[in-house]
Structure formats: C-alpha cells, structure tokens
Structure 1
Amino acid sequence: MSSDEENRKTRRPPFIPPVVHPDTLVVPPNTIYLVPDQLEFAGKPYYFEKCGSKRAWFTSYFYNCLPIVFGSQHGFLLTATNSFVLRWDGTDKNDGVSVHQLDATNRDDLTVVSHFGHGIVTVQSRHYFRTPKGVNMMVKAPPNYPVHGLSWMDAVVETDNLRRDFTFNIKITRPQMDIYIEKGTPLGCIVPYPRFFLDKYEMVALSDPEELNKAVETANFYGIERDQYDGEKPRLRYMEGRDIYNNFYDMHQKSLDSGEWWNSADARVERKKMQQDQPAAGKDAPQPGQSASSESSSQPAQQQAPQILQCPVTGKKFDHTGKELKDEDS
C-alpha cells in the first residue's frame, strides 16, 4: 500500500463548509491581491514591501555590477514584525526549534513555528495572495539578504487557484547556535511568474558553426578589454547597455520600470553622446593603458608598436582595432 493510499484510509472525513462561495474573484493584470485571514486585518499590511536595489552590506563596488543590483529588485519581501531568536537542537523533532520573542509589539501579525521538524521554521502572515489567472507565485529567499545559519526553501504556489493561508519555510543550518532576527529583517520573498513559463525551456549547445565562432570571439574580445585595457577601473558596458562593438542594445533595463528610463529622451541623448565619444569597432582604438582622448605622438620613433591579440579558443589573430589578421599580416 502506498503512503498516499494509507493516508487516505486513516484520514478523518473532510470538513463540509455550511456555505459554498464560488471563486468569482477577478484579479486585474499586474496585480497581487492581499487577502486577510480575518476581517480585522483587511488593508495593505505594513510587513510586505517591494524589493529595492540598496543593501546595507553592499560596498560601492557592488553597484558596478548591474546583474546583482537588478537581481536585488526582483520580488516582494515579507519582513519580521518584531525581533526574535531562533535555536535548533540539531534533531529532526518538531519541537527541536525554539523561538524566543524579544518584544511583544506586533508579534501576532506573524507566526513563527516549527511543524516540519528537521530544523525548519515556518513563517505565516495574516494574509495570503491571489494573482491573475495563469500566474503562479514563486516563494524564495530574499535576494541578496544573507542571514548566517539560515537557508530558505523554495516553493511554487498556484495563487490564482488557492484560497487559503500562505507560508514561508526556512531551514536552520547551524545547530546549537542562537540566530538573532532583528525587526525588519526579510523573512521571505515572492515573485509572480506565468504558469508553464519554464516547462518547455531546454538547454541546448550552440552548434551553428558561424554563430558559434562569432559568439566565442565576441566573448574573448570582452576578456581582452577587461584584462589588458581596463585595469582596476570597470568599463561598465553592460550597465550602459552597449556591447564590445559600442552598439547599444535594442532594450535594456537598470530597474523594474517597464523600459521607461531606456525609452526616455534623456537616455537617448546620453546614448548618442556616448556613441560620439567612443570609437566604433574597426576604427583606430586606443592601445592598452592609453585613453581614448589622447592623441598619437607626432614622433614615429616614440609610437607603440601595434599589438597583436589572439583569441585563445579559435587561434585567430586581431590588431588593436579588432581587424582580423591573416598570416601574411602578422
């Protein structure tokens, strides 16, 4: 007998609601409805907030990396309504986790308990979520908010269908250690995404010879610029939305603004100015260590010999402008 069959036989009879409420709720596009478990908690709760780009532990160097900054903005956070301390005894028991509340303020807005065992803490708010038809909710770790001793458990919920309480689950990874959670600490993150969005994606090796060759060489051009031209100052091409050939992307995001910044008049002027200031691929480009604005020396004897760059994968050679060299040229 399977465990499912055994559970069905030993379960109590189901609860039969005295009143039937059909699911007539229509959630507008781009909307997440917050539904309270009791009418007294109706209204937008203060402990949910949209993710931002800033992190208290980031140094200025982190903000040069757009993928990290942009990734920090994805989702909505559930934050702790009061400070508390967690401690796990290292066992698999349900009561193996102790939760010590440090203050009583707003402590009833969230419940923090252990019912899975295995050092897992379950956090439940007074609200659950409803999304438009066909939109799931991914439950995950707060982006770029590490907490020593904690690891978040991912989940996916059909919030267009489910009409009940919603939980976040966190695994304690360090037994016999007090883990302090300060009020306002993110305890979970939700990200809506369309159902079936990932189902048919596959990872396939690029095999078209021409496209593969161009892709490999382009990636190596980036490496050459980073290693031989940039030094300790990052180029920020990706931040600016342009490639190694100084072509701007068709669409680029720095923040979750639906493309408003990229399509603005100010951004278009900024891109045009950068194109005028930067040499195009195939034109005379500066040597490593030489600024784009510096002029060539009038004395040929003092000029630096053109540098030959070789792609470590394809073996092809290029001059400093990116022009491919044939054997007779090099």
Structure 2
Amino acid sequence: MRLECYKIYDVAPEIVPGRSDRAWMDAFVDRHPYRCLPLSMANATGWEILCPMDIKIIWNGGPRNEDILLKTTGDPAAIASFADAHFMRGIVTFHTGHLFRTPPGWGVWVTGPPNWPKDGIAPLTGLVETDWLPFPFTMNWQLTRPGEVVFRKGEPFAFITLMEHKRLEEIEPERKLMRTNPELVDEYNAWRDSRADFNTRLKEGETAAMKERWQRHYMKGEKPTGDKAEVHQTKRRLKPPREVK
C-alpha cells in the first residue's frame, strides 16, 4: 500500500513521520504524560508536514483579508507560495505543496499535530478523498483571538494520516448494558478492584506501591487478570517518504 506524495514544484515542504514526543510532555516531572500510551501513539500515527520558513501571523480581529498580516524572517516574496488569508475571519491557509493520492476507498485526514496545543490559534480538520482528487488540498488554522502567533521553520503545520473512510458507513454501533457480557464484567471488576487497591496502597505510602508509582496494565498490553493482549503496540515507526524520479 502506498501514499503517493507528488511535489507540485521542485521545492516543497518536508514530510516526516510523526514524532511521539512533545515539549509540554517532556516538561513534566519524570515525563509523567508519557505514561499515557494513547497520547504518544496518537502523536506518531501519521506524518508531519513542516514549515519551510518562519511565519508570524498578526490579526487585528477584523473579518477581512486585510485584517491578517503575514511576516517572515526570510524572503517576504516567498510567503504567498506557502500561506495566505484565503478564508478571512481570522483563518490562515497553508499550502502543503503536494498532491496526495491514496488507494481506492482511502482518504487523507488532515489536521494539526495531535496533542500539540498552540496558544491563540486552533487547527481546522479535514477529510479529503485523495483516491481521485487531481488537485492539492490546504491546511487551515483559525486564530482564536486578536494578536500574534508564530510558526517556526521546521515546526509541523499539518499532520496527515490515512482512513478507509468509506467503510465507516458499514459499521453498526451497538450500545448495551455491560452485564450482557459476563466475561467483560469479570475483567472490568478485576481492573476496578486492582485499581482501588493500588490507589489505597499508594495513598498509605506502601513501599511496593510507592516504588511502582503507577499501574502499567495498558502499557504492557496486559489485563488485570494476567491475560495478555494478542496484539499490542507501544511504538509507532512510520516510513518517511522516499524520493522517486
């Protein structure tokens, strides 16, 4: 299976596998957020498209294109090929520089980098039918208040992952009482009791609990009953795009 990334021009923003680390996660004592495996896995489940230049966005709060000003530390003439205020009302449009093609039924989910909050601006998310689209899509961000926001060169301005989205309509969600699944009830109760016991021991300062500090059932792909998940991942290693002539 291939994700084809066609550069529209000879020079285009770099595309790299998503990184699992985040500066705000590193800043915690003992890198505490990394205990939440779903966070770091989501961070790396896709590819980042990186800013080719520094971009400063200045918005006065007005609704017009002219109310958004874009500046760079490099050549100002290069800004137009990368960013503009196409949608107005505090929305900035970034050009990916690529036309993406996917296998039939698969599309590209494009958004900001997961779990990468940016003060003053929020990513707008799109789902694109890249199995037929003969033109590129853009990445849009909406300023949340008047002021200035800076994207640095090498910072991800877009994050793409793939979705077999047409099959979503085949899914039939079912909501039911948990007691209709006795096996799941037993597993849930084992987790609940284990969690309550561990938290009690931790609160009381028990040596073993203090040394362990947190339960690692999900991290180890292990149920409280001791059973192991058949498939479990703690790392995501996506391939970088290779240059094809």
Q: TM-score range by the shorter chain?
A: 0.7 to 0.9
The structure 1 residue matched to 2:117, chosen from 139, 146, 149, is 146
Partner of 2:241: none
Partner of 2:145: 174
Q: TM-score, normalised by structure 2?
A: 0.82
Distance 1:67 1:201, change over 3 A: same
Q: Does residue 255 in structure 1 map to residue 226 in structure 2?
A: no
Distance in 2 separating the partners of 1:106 and 1:48:
23
User: Contact (CA 8 Å) 1:135, 1:193: kept in 2 or not?
Assistant: yes
Distance 1:109 1:63, change over 3 A: farther
User: Contact (CA 8 Å) 1:47, 1:81: kept in 2 or not?
Assistant: yes
Partner of 1:81: 52
How big is the shift at 1:58?
A: 1.6
How big is the shift at 1:105?
A: 9.2
Distance 1:208 1:102, change over 3 A: closer
Q: Does residue 137 in structure 1 map to residue 104 in structure 2?
A: no
Distance 1:148 1:208, change over 3 A: closer
Which residue identity does 2:66 align to in structure 1? Answer: D
Post-superposition CA distance 1:38-72 (Å, at most 9, x none) = 3x34xxx5621110212223231122221111111
Partner of 2:242: none
- Provide the identity percentage: 23
Distance in 2 separating the partners of 1:235 and 1:105:
52
Which residue identity does 2:125 align to in structure 1? Answer: D
Partner of 2:196: 224
User: Contact (CA 8 Å) 1:125, 1:166: kept in 2 or not?
Assistant: yes
Distance 1:116 1:222, change over 3 A: farther
User: Contact (CA 8 Å) 2:187, 2:225: kept in 1 or not?
Assistant: no
Distance 1:109 1:79, change over 3 A: farther
Q: Does residue 53 in structure 1 map to residue 20 in structure 2?
A: yes
Q: TM-score, normalised by structure 1?
A: 0.62
Q: Would you tell me which structure has more helix in proportion to its own residues? A: 2
Q: Does residue 71 in structure 1 map to residue 51 in structure 2?
A: no
**Secondary structure of the corresponding residue to residue 205 of structure 1:** coil
| Count, aligned residues | 224
Q: Aligned Cα RMSD in Å?
A: 2.4
**Secondary structure of the corresponding residue to residue 179 of structure 1:** strand
Post-superposition CA distance 1:14-37 (Å, at most 9, x none) = xxxxxxxxxxxxxxx1x1111122
How big is the shift at 1:128?
A: 1.4
How big is the shift at 1:87?
A: 1.3
Distance 1:222 1:196, change over 3 A: farther
Distance in 2 separating the partners of 1:180 and 1:222:
46
How big is the shift at 1:225?
A: 3.7
Which residue identity does 2:111 align to in structure 1? Answer: K
Partner of 1:245: 225
Bigger Rg over Cα: 1
